[in-house]
Chains A and B, each alone.
Chain A
């Protein structure tokens, strides 16, 4: 059982709202990742972190931002949500081997 948690699981909000998707892991992993998963299932890396105070943008351009103030916490923030941000967001972490994923946050922006 993976010890990585995402909240909220589901969120419906209006355009222009600020939202934060939470991700926490209790495994002490240094590396954490945010993926956006489109309806066609493909995963797109939007942000990652090597450790505390390190954040990098991934392959997919995103209007979101992330922070890594504590090892266990890697929140993703959208300052002004738009309908194009409607998607499934998956958080993951790893040490040296495989990735451990949270259950995802499904965001719908009206």
Chain B
């Protein structure tokens, strides 16, 4: 079945540092890939997405590129802020008509001033 593996946290960075959160997936066909963010006390919200190979999703300074050859969708940001402190989830939606999205286990990011 489909699966998503993302790096364990917490990831602790100083403000303005470079961020990478790794995400790899296993799926048949051509899934759509997503990053969601969960701020403290809230539900998840979509951060960015990519629906086909080599697509780059971007939002709020975050980027991720759909790499089919390495089955990866790593999240990056050039300069993090304290307000980026949150939990980040990588997810996929299979292309086979499945109704069930697959989530990674979440990575906590803590940014210090």
Q: Which residues of A contact B108 (CB under 8 A)?
A: 41
- In whole angstroms, how far apart are the Cα atoms of A61 and B99 in the complex? 18
Task: Tell me if A78 counts as interface (CB < 8 A to partner B).
Answer: no
Are the CB atoms of B99 and A90 closer together than 8 Å?
no
Q: Which residues of B contact A98 (CB under 8 A)?
A: 34, 46, 49, 93
Q: Which residues of A contact B99 (CB under 8 A)?
A: 31, 48, 50
A interface residues, tally (CB under 8 Å): 23
Are the CB atoms of A48 and B100 closer together than 8 Å?
yes
What is the 8 Å Cβ interface bit string for chain A, positions 63-103, against chain B (1 contact, 0 not)?
Answer: 00000000000000000000000000010101001111111
Q: How many A-B residue pairs have CB under 8 A?
A: 51
Q: How large is the interface on B (under 10, 10 to 19, 20 to 34, 35 or more residues)?
A: 20 to 34
B43, B49, B101, B105: the one within 8 Å of A104 (CB): B43
Q: Which of A10-55 contact B (CB under 8 A)?
A: 31, 33, 40-43, 45, 48, 50
Give the dominant DSSP class at B's interface: strand
- The residue among A2, A40, A43, A48 with the most chain B CB atoms within 10 A of its own CB is A43
Q: Which residues of A contact B38 (CB under 8 A)?
A: 41
Task: Tell me if B31 counts as interface (CB < 8 A to partner A).
Answer: no
Could you show 23 A-B contacts with beta carbons less than 8 Å apart?
A31-B99, A33-B101, A40-B106, A41-B38, A41-B87, A41-B108, A42-B103, A42-B105, A43-B89, A43-B106, A45-B100, A50-B99, A90-B43, A90-B44, A92-B43, A98-B34, A98-B93, A99-B44, A99-B46, A100-B46, A101-B36, A101-B44, A103-B41
- In whole angstroms, how far apart are the Cα atoms of A92 and B42 in the complex? 13
Are the CB atoms of A43 and B103 closer together than 8 Å?
yes
Are the CB atoms of A97 and B32 closer together than 8 Å?
yes
